Amino acid sequence: MPIGVIQRILGHSNRKTTEGYIHSANEDERNAIEMLGKIDIFTAPLKQNEIHPTNRHSEFWQRKVERPDYKSLCQDIQKLGFVGTGRKYGVSDNAIRKWKKHYDSQFKN
């Protein structure tokens, strides 16, 4: 296992400190370090039934407003127009257009 990885795991800010710990480690500790090198501890495997990872794209986490479902959105656009619907949800009329475009592209596929 690279010494930089061990340094990060142990939380050392100085590489010399990590080297000192490695040289003073006994046989069992060295074996444990070797075993850690063989295990991929930095990525979690996906479950069998999980198609997509749980962490979504960054735009999803930056959303400030809960989007309505497609049917409600279309009804609001029909009644209020894009500007009125945007005012209702606290977003711009262009955001409403993007929401509708996003929903339309999902339903086409």
pLDDT for res 97: 95
pLDDT for res 91: 92
List the structure tokens of 97: 């257009």
How many residues in total does the chain contain? 109
pTM above 0.85, yes or no: no
Instruction: Parse the chain into domains and list their residue ranges.
Output: 3-38, 66-108
**Per-residue pLDDT tens listing for the chain (109 residues):** 677 777 777 788 887 887 777 776 677 777 877 777 777 655 656 555 555 555 566 666 666 788 899 999 999 999 999 999 999 999 999 999 999 998 998 877 5
